[in-house]
Structure 1
Amino acid sequence: MTERTLAGKNVLIAGGAKNLGGLIARQSALAGANVAVHYNSDASRADAEETLAAIRSAGGTGVILQGDLTVPANVARLFAEAEAAIGRIDVAVNTAGKVLRKPILETTESEYDAMFDINAKAAYFFIQEAGKHLADGGKIITIVTALLAAFTDGYSTYAGGKSPVEHFTRAAAKEFAGRGISVTAVAPGPMDTPFFYGQETPERVEFHKSQGMGGQLTQIEDIAPIVRFLATEGWWITGQTIFANGGYTTR
């Protein structure tokens, strides 16, 4: 991608070190943006530094910022530090999430709390801080999951933890509309990343593949352009969840 549709814009990506977040960060830089890359833990710092190098190679200003976003004060600090480093944020993308496949009868309270903290609580306060910090005409985009339209077992805390984001998105779209800020969610199908494979057996992986076009999982390359579209020409889409999953599921 060489078209500079984000020239002069400042983009913050939560979970931007690798996988989908890393690709969005790199493509944003190629499109002309300055990019702040958030990462959660020391384990992903090397990936964040590699993504930062790619941003700078594309000619953009970049910064990497660490923080546990389940703590609202850390979300506030993330936006403040990103703004100090690259300027007023125009586009805020939250790709952070945690997946767990486990029967309800076996799920512990600590697992429940962890799943809802990262998938719902962190997403809520990310949207809140974006509403405080974004420039007028800004864009807020959250990655959710196609399981929001599925009828299946095992993913009660993952789909359940992501489902409130649809309501957060709708409310924020109305509340921020006066400033021209659009708020959307993107729901990929099972993605071909390590995030997915740790939860599934080989047999279930093959089943998931069989449900999408071409017998394949969603690729991060399928989703990043949709995020870029929502951040640019697609600004008129707001308050919506976009199911981008190759026919895996729908409502």
Structure 2
Amino acid sequence: MTTAAELFSLEGRTVLLTGATAGLGRRFAETLAAAGATVGVVGRRPELCEEIAKENDGCVPLPFDLARTEELPGLVDTAVERLGPIDVLVNNAAYIAGGAKAEDETPEQIAQTLAVNLVAPITLAQRIYPSMKERGAGVIVNVTSIVARAGIAWFPQATYAASKGGLEAITREWAAQWSPHGVRVNALVPGFFESEMTSEVIHKRRVQEWILSNTILPRHGQVSDFDGALLYLCSDASSYVTGQTLVVDGGWTAH
């Protein structure tokens, strides 16, 4: 019988992780490396990519701005050259237009949000999928958000919500088309937690009270709360799971 440690192990596997230098991403890099994976750490800030690589055996810095969508094929080529064939793609990077109201979002903000949150994941998956298909195995995890399934006016983010909703929808479609070829695709859906993106507002008393009043579990989320869910979706522990969304929100969307 396979042990629990073997089920969740990523020993010998390569992971391309976007948005790896802040928020959930940094924790994801640490968690995946600790499970034995070689992790390509993709982020806009080269110094943080290098820092993560120095602190975590198995992490390889791959600084890149995902808004440069036309250059994404080159990122994949570099990743394969340095890591080997990609076994797991984690589309985690995200951009949000600073809480702009729906009617105030500029064309530039809309374009960047869609480029980073939707176009980049699609382009990366398209580039990586053929190798996964050829080998008959692969995993794609798309990190979306509860705003893809619930309107939350306290944090105005219309295009962000649209981009995450699109990523959640394409998760199911990729699974339908690609799972017969051994490529599993699932979405990890975070609720509210402290991150670089939420740091300006999440510590305000009224915001904290509002979050807790809408969360079934009586505490705030921490980045460590996602460790198990991430390893489950990336490893053989979820070998018969595809096209699904795993929500980690303390019960926010359960009522």
> TM-score w.r.t. structure 1 length?
0.88
Whole-angstrom CA distance in 1 between matches of 2:128 and 2:252:
31
Does residue 90 (structure 1) correspond to residue 87 (structure 2)? The answer is: yes
Aligned to 1:206: 209
Does residue 115 (structure 1) correspond to residue 113 (structure 2)? The answer is: yes
Aligned to 2:29: 25
- Cα offsets for 1:224-248 (capped at 9, x unmatched): 3211111111132211222110111
Whole-angstrom CA distance in 1 between matches of 2:108 and 2:70:
21
1:129 pairs, out of 127, 130, 133, with 127
Contact 1:12 1:36 in 2 (8 A): yes
Contact 2:190 2:249 in 1 (8 A): yes
Whole-angstrom CA distance in 2 between matches of 1:124 and 1:148:
17
Deviation at 1:198, TM superposition (A): 3.1
Contact 2:217 2:251 in 1 (8 A): no
Whole-angstrom CA distance in 2 between matches of 1:26 and 1:200:
24
Structure 1 residues 47-66: aligned runs within 5 Å: 47-56=48-57, 60=58, 62-66=59-63
Aligned-residue sequence identity (percent) comes to 26
Aligned to 2:176: 174
Deviation at 1:27, TM superposition (A): 1.6
Contact 1:18 1:51 in 2 (8 A): no
Aligned to 2:194: 192
Does residue 102 (structure 1) correspond to residue 104 (structure 2)? The answer is: no
Deviation at 1:54, TM superposition (A): 2.6
Does residue 229 (structure 1) correspond to residue 229 (structure 2)? The answer is: no
1:75 pairs, out of 72, 83, 103, with 72
Contact 2:194 2:202 in 1 (8 A): no
SS in 1 for 2:90: strand
Aligned to 2:148: 148
> TM-score w.r.t. structure 2 length?
0.87
- Cα offsets for 1:168-222 (capped at 9, x unmatched): 1111112211321101111100121121133668222431233224443322111
Whole-angstrom CA distance in 1 between matches of 2:167 and 2:216:
27
Number of corresponding residues: 243
Deviation at 1:74, TM superposition (A): 2.5
